[in-house]
Amino acid sequence: MRLILNIPTILLYFWASLLLAQTPVYDYRVLEKYPHNPLNYTQGLVFHDGFLYEGTGQRGQSRLQRYRLETGADLESVSLSDRYFGEGIEIVGDRLFQLTWQSHMVFVYNLDSFELQNNFYNPTEGWGLAFDGKELVLSDGSEKLYFIDPSNFVRTREISVTMDGQPVRSLNELEYIEGEIWANIWQTDFIVRIDPVTGIVNSLINLSGLSDLTSRAGSDAVLNGIAYDNDTKRLIVTGKLWADLFVIELQGPR
């Protein structure tokens, strides 16, 4: 994942949006804190049936793993070939999809065994991945979100994400939560909540200060990673190279 707008432009855009107050903004409260491997360059995060699934990036370090939220210890893992830079992941039934950044490959594993079952071609870069119950949703770092048939990875439609009439780029890790698509904006402390039909951002989540509550292993240790426990309604977030995962509760909006 690489920058589309420069960092100051992204930050100025979002802070200007906050000051104009055209889009509602939520703050947060930390409820719980759990260990996270600080070497994990987090690209995708999914909570499913009591386990966390995580996909990590960087060539030579990309892998897929399953672990308990409470301990962070691997229960199952598989590494990608050194040629691949792993990206977002998502679960559909008994299959687990994993994107790659610029190799155009999508790997499909058996959810239980992590045995590789299939692969597909993705024509763009791969960044984030979510599942709305029918289709996969893919981000590629632009303002576009692509809806994909999980049986053959063929795109069925796309939307452009906008906030206050302006395109929102650098859409990164995705999660489908209660009828909305949530997306990290790369290199910022913001998550956007997107209407999956119109592409309009209906609210922002400002997670400023959360990174100060954990140890970070490098300059690339930015916010990235959203998971949702549908049974308990727990919202779990983390970052690349962060030593902790956080269960948070939204406050607001304002």
CATH of residue 107: 2.130.10.10
* Residue 214 resides in a domain: no
> Largest alpha-carbon pair distance within the chain?
50
* Residue 31 resides in a domain: no
Q: Are strands 25-35 and 201-206 parallel, antiparallel or unpaired?
A: parallel
- Six token digits for residue 88: 């977002």
* Residue 243 resides in a domain: no
Q: Count the neighbouring beta carbons within 10 Å of the beta carbon of residue 183.
A: 27
Contact between 172 and 158 (Cβ < 8 Å): no
Expressed as residue numbers, the domain containing 115 is: 7-24+39-204
Q: Which residue positions in the chain have pLDDT lower than 70? A: 1-21
pLDDT score of 162 = 93
* Residue 209 resides in a domain: no
Bridge partners of residue 106, in order along the sequence: 99, 120
* Residue 252 resides in a domain: no
Domains of the chain: total: 1
Backbone angles phi, psi at 7, to 5 degrees: -60, -50
* Residue 123 resides in a domain: yes
CA 162 – CA 169 distance, rounded (Å)? 9
pLDDT score of 72 = 82
Q: What is the DSSP letter of 123?
A: S
* Residue 247 resides in a domain: no
pTM: 0.91
State pLDDT tens for residues 15-49. Answer: 555 545 488 999 999 999 999 999 999 999 999 99
Contact between 107 and 129 (Cβ < 8 Å): no
* Residue 76 resides in a domain: yes
